[in-house]
Amino acid sequence: MVRQKRSRTVDLDFTLRKVFGKSGFRPVQREVINAVLEGHDVFLQAATSFGKSLCFQLPAVLDFGITVVVSPLLALMNNQIAGLRAANIKVATINSTTTSAVRTSILDDLKCGHPLTRLLYVTPEYCAMDHFRRILRVIHEQRELARIAIDEAHCISEWGHDFRPSFKELNFFKKEFPDVPIVCCTATATQRVRDDIITTLALSERNLKMYTMTTSRPNLHYEIRFKSDEVDQYDDFISWIRAVHGRRRKDAARASQLAMQDERIDNVSGIIYTLYRKDCELLAARLRDDGIGAKPYHAGLTNSDKDAHLEGWVSNKEGYDVIVATTAFGMGIDKENVRFVVHWQIPKSFEGFYQEAGRAGRDGKASLCIMYYGREDRDRAAGMLARDQARKENSKSNKGGMGPATQAAALGRAKSLQSLIAYCESTSACRHQLICQYFGEDITPECEWACDWHKNATALVKRKEEGLASEEWCSTQRERGLYSVDDYD
Ligand SMILES: Nc1ncnc2c1ncn2[C@@H]1O[C@H](COP(=O)(O)OP(=O)(O)OP(=O)(O)O)[C@@H](O)[C@H]1O
């Protein structure tokens, strides 16, 4: 049911400034926020760093009742919660790291039916728990369940059909509380994924407002650096980062500006993504040996190490300039001054690549996204995907055969990697254009020399010829089983 429209311009602008400390809305944010406040279900797809979170956070502060935010990753929850707490917003999270005393006090607040908590961050798995559902019913009876926000909503389609089935069970919300609006936010959804999310959540077209904006990020400079197993790309990277530090040091005006802002010359904040945990540790250690403040981040670290590394990096602490991470550190992480994102190998999906590269340049300043691409790594990534797929097919939950949605998701994953390979191998189109094309956008995105093709297409062709192993070589190596892979995550 659409709520009656009321004049709230003053409230919106006031809350934006006073609570969130922002001077104005970005394009389309106001429109989306109004739709949310009017009680529509909202599907918001927009580029990384667009400011999608504000579209459910501001209504949560302004409106009455509680907003339940379903979020897939702990790092992402913690990152958003830290920002909200800094703005004095009453926010809570219940997840595997919440202590029992804190959990009890949050649950006490919820159980009364009139919670003081404005935003509650939970995982989809927690939403599937009976005791939590009982509490939600109490809050709903008191008409205090304002809305459900599903952050990174593409996970419903990417993960819900196999390894995190609780995403699929989020259909519980519309079944039990059809009058409670749902807001879905994502930066990465193809048409198939959008349709899948809407069907899974049972969002009705009558009350649904769709906002699909461009994925283009003109301030990101995309570049492929071709490599083969024969060459250690470390030398290339370390020369590059040292050159960046050197330029900052040599430029007297820049150096004194940094000194005045109490910033270090070598605080060039960045992320390096690797597919394997062992690379993560080794690379971070190697960088530290070479004087670069680098820390690892992967699922095998203790929670306290992960928190310390994330916190040090976010606060620009010395020794924490570069995070070397697996995909455990990706979606949604928001830090404004990330000047580079490097993919040490090709990731397993186009969406993953776009999400991870999207951590760069969130302050709107030019930032570099480098991918080291080798055909041997391509074959390893394909091998991983095939192995993941075989595991899923053999898993208990698929004993009766894979359903059509599960099959479509599997096909989607294979297509995604194929498209990313085509992106890396391409020497005949703008990288921004290729990204938009993948997400189904029929536009020519802005690219002011912001990709390797636009910078020098001839040099790109040459670098590819010189840098990659030949297909013949890769196929013989494949036949000999040389690209089998270790465990990763
Ligand atoms: N109107 C605004 N004015 C200034 N800054 C804003 C505004 N709206 C959002 N931001 C800031 O933009 C940054 C990115 O916002 P947010 O994290 O919500 O991005 P997102 O769209 O969810 O991106 P991603 O999909 O990459 O997670 C945040 O630091 C946020 O505070």
pLDDT of residue 6: 45
Query: Are 152 and 352 within 8 A, CB to CB?
Result: no
Q: Which helix (H) or strand (E) holds 121?
A: strand 119-122
**pLDDT of residue 5 exceeding 60:** no
Give the Å distance between the CA of 188 and the centre of ligand 1.
15
**pLDDT of residue 481 exceeding 90:** no
Percentage above 90 pLDDT, the chain: 67
**pLDDT of residue 391 exceeding 80:** no
Ligand 1 atom having least distance to the Cα of 185: 22
Mean pLDDT of 243-269: 86
Rounded distance between C-alpha atoms, residue 16 and residue 324, angstroms = 34
Ligand 1 atom having least distance to the Cα of 57: 18
**pLDDT tens for each residue of 95-123:** 888 899 999 999 999 988 899 999 999 99
315-343 as b/e, with b when 16 or more CB fall inside 10 Å?
A: ebbeebbbbbbbbbbbbbbbbebbbbbbb
Residue 65 backbone zone (phi > 0: left; psi -120 to 50: alpha; other: beta): left
Structure tokens that stand for 136 in this block: 């939600």
pLDDT of residue 485: 57
Q: Which listed CATH number (1.10.10.10, 3.30.465.10, 3.40.50.300, 3.40.50.1820) goes with 12-212?
A: 3.40.50.300
Query: Are 188 and 201 within 8 A, CB to CB?
Result: no
Rounded distance between C-alpha atoms, residue 250 and residue 154, angstroms = 45
**pLDDT tens for each residue of 199-238:** 999 998 899 999 999 999 999 999 999 999 999 999 999 9
Pocket test for ligand 1, best of 29, 31, 53 (most atoms within 8 A of CB): 53
Give the Å distance between the CA of 278 and the centre of ligand 1.
32
Q: Compute CA 104 distance to the chain's CA centroid, rounded to the nearest angstrom.
A: 30
Q: Is 30 in the pocket of ligand 1 (CB under 6 A)?
A: no
Question: For atom 12 of ligand 1, which residue has the closest CA?
Answer: 51
Q: Is 288 in the pocket of ligand 1 (CB under 6 A)?
A: no
Q: Is 432 in the pocket of ligand 1 (CB under 6 A)?
A: no
The residue with greater pLDDT, 1 or 358, is 358
Average pLDDT score, the chain = 90
Query: What CA–CA distances, in Å, run from 2 to 61, 68, 102, 209?
Result: 19, 19, 36, 11
pLDDT of residue 211: 97
**pLDDT of residue 364 exceeding 90:** yes
Question: For atom 27 of ligand 1, which residue has the closest CA?
Answer: 332
Mean pLDDT of 358-386: 93
pLDDT of residue 338: 96
Query: Are 468 and 219 within 8 A, CB to CB?
Result: no
Percentage above 70 pLDDT, the chain: 93
Q: Which listed CATH number (3.40.50.720, 3.40.50.300, 1.20.120.530, 3.60.21.10) goes with 220-480?
A: 3.40.50.300
Query: Are 197 and 157 within 8 A, CB to CB?
Result: yes
pTM across the whole model:
0.90
Q: Which of 210-214, 238-242, 400-404, 420-424 has the lowest mean pLDDT?
A: 400-404
Rounded distance between C-alpha atoms, residue 467 and residue 374, angstroms = 8
Rounded distance between C-alpha atoms, residue 127 and residue 117, angstroms = 17
Give the Å distance between the CA of 309 and the centre of ligand 1.
22
**pLDDT of residue 10 exceeding 80:** no
The DSSP annotation for 227-278 comes to --TTS-THHHHHHHHHHHHHHHHH-HHHHHHHHHTT--TT---EEEE-SSHH
Question: For atom 3 of ligand 1, which residue has the closest CA?
Answer: 22
Give phi and psi for 100, each to the nearest 5: -65, -30
Question: For atom 11 of ligand 1, which residue has the closest CA?
Answer: 51
Residue written as token pair 């504000």: 54
Closest C-alpha to 23, from 31, 33, 13, 32: 13
Rounded distance between C-alpha atoms, residue 27 and residue 316, angstroms = 30
**pLDDT tens for each residue of 19-52:** 999 999 999 999 999 999 999 999 999 999 999 9
Query: Are 436 and 443 within 8 A, CB to CB?
Result: yes
Closest C-alpha to 373, from 428, 420, 412, 310: 420
CB atoms within 10 A of CB 440: 13
Give the Å distance between the CA of 335 and the centre of ligand 1.
10
Question: For atom 6 of ligand 1, which residue has the closest CA?
Answer: 51
- Whether 220-480 and 12-212 are alike in CATH topology: the answer is yes
413-438 as b/e, with b when 16 or more CB fall inside 10 Å?
A: beebbebbbebbebbeebbbbbbbbb
Ligand 1 atom having least distance to the Cα of 333: 27
Q: Which residues, including other chains, have CB under 8 Å from residue 85's CB and lie 6 or more apart?
A: 91
What dihedral do alpha carbons 173, 179, 180, 186 form, nearest 10°?
Answer: 80
Structure tokens that stand for 76 in this block: 């992402």
Query: What CA–CA distances, in Å, run from 241 to 215, 236, 266, 339, 342?
Result: 28, 9, 9, 11, 11
Question: For atom 10 of ligand 1, which residue has the closest CA?
Answer: 51
The residues spanned by each domain of the chain are 12-212, 220-480
pLDDT of residue 474: 83
Q: Is 425 in the pocket of ligand 1 (CB under 6 A)?
A: no
Give, in degrees to the nearest 5, the angle at Cα 344 between 343 and 348: 65
